[in-house]
Structure 1
Amino acid sequence: MARDPDFDPCKLVEHDSGEYSLVFDDFDDYVDIFDEQGWLGNGYAWEGVVQVLLAERSPEVLDQVEFDSEADLFSVRAGDPEPLAEVAAAIRDAVVDLDVLADAITRAEEQGLLD
């Protein structure tokens, strides 16, 4: 896994198939924010947060990526790293400004993106 500042706080993984994955599993610092709103701060919840943030800032990216999260890992795949950099930027905004994260959780819930 390459560590690249463009993809922080996530990790970019290049697969033998030529596809790329972006993974994020550093949930511990943000669990309380999800918990306050009644959600587990797991990979699936982060998926909802990212979908909300991308829909408003880079909706075209949603057509270029495929979410593949698990409970203990947020993961998204694409054929090119460029849309994954947009996903990483959305996560970075949410972890740098916890108000952005809390607002995205609320909107993800309203849109039925959390389960």
Structure 2
Amino acid sequence: MDINNFKESIKPFFWVEHEKSVSVCLNVGEYKTEVFQTREEEGFEGNGYDWGSLATVFLEEQKPELIEAIEFDPEADMFCAYSSDADALKKFILSFKEACENDSLLFDLFSRAILD
């Protein structure tokens, strides 16, 4: 997959290349908000930290082979994952985006997310 097709396939996530690492980010608040609303009473807001909690469950359960390669650095208004291994981060975001498009899987994963 060429880089333009890759970038298109992960939207609304976006790819950022740095000198020695790569990141994939999401401006929160517009994508999959209904997922986070299911646990609003527990304090989930759909912010970057909540996305980080969801992504952690996904990584642990669906892609454990990537755990050592992927780091998360969420902010209130942005989810961000990064790695010095571009191939590992590409594998992560392609599979995470696919999971996000599968509502039953996404709601299931989110049921085990821990409030950060």
Q: Same fold by TM-score, threshold 0.5 exceeded?
A: yes
Alpha-carbon shift at residue 21 of structure 1 (Å): 0.9
Q: Percent sequence identity over matched residues?
A: 28
Alpha-carbon shift at residue 69 of structure 1 (Å): 0.7
Q: Distance in 1 between matches of 2:82 and 2:115?
A: 20
> In structure 2, what is the equivalent of residue 62 of structure 1?
67
Q: Distance in 1 between matches of 2:99 and 2:49?
A: 15
Q: Residues 44 and 12 from structure 1, CA distance in 2 versus in 1: closer, same or farther, beyond 3 angstroms? A: same
Q: Distance in 2 between matches of 1:67 and 1:81?
A: 14
> In structure 1, what is the equivalent of residue 115 of structure 2?
114
Equivalent residues in 2 for 1:91-106, closer than 5 Å: 91-106=96-111
- What do residues 10-37 of structure 1 show as CA deviations (whole Å, max 9, x unaligned)? 2111113x21111122541311221122
Please, what TM-score do these two structures have when normalized by structure 2?
A: 0.80
Please report the RMSD computed on the Cα atoms of aligned residues, expressed in angstroms. Answer: 2.0
Q: Is the 8 A contact 1:25 1:72 kept in 2?
A: yes
Q: Residues 66 and 51 from structure 1, CA distance in 2 versus in 1: closer, same or farther, beyond 3 angstroms? A: same
Hey, which of these two has a bigger chunk of helix by percent? 1
1:15 aligned to which of 15, 18, 21: 18
Q: Which runs of 5+ in 2 are unaligned?
A: none
Q: Which runs of 5+ in 1 are unaligned?
A: none
Q: Is the 8 A contact 1:23 1:74 kept in 2?
A: yes
- Per mean C-alpha deviation after superposition, the further-off stretch among 41-50 and 4-13 is 4-13
Q: Is the 8 A contact 1:42 1:73 kept in 2?
A: yes
Q: Distance in 2 between matches of 1:69 and 1:37?
A: 19
Please, what TM-score do these two structures have when normalized by structure 1?
A: 0.80
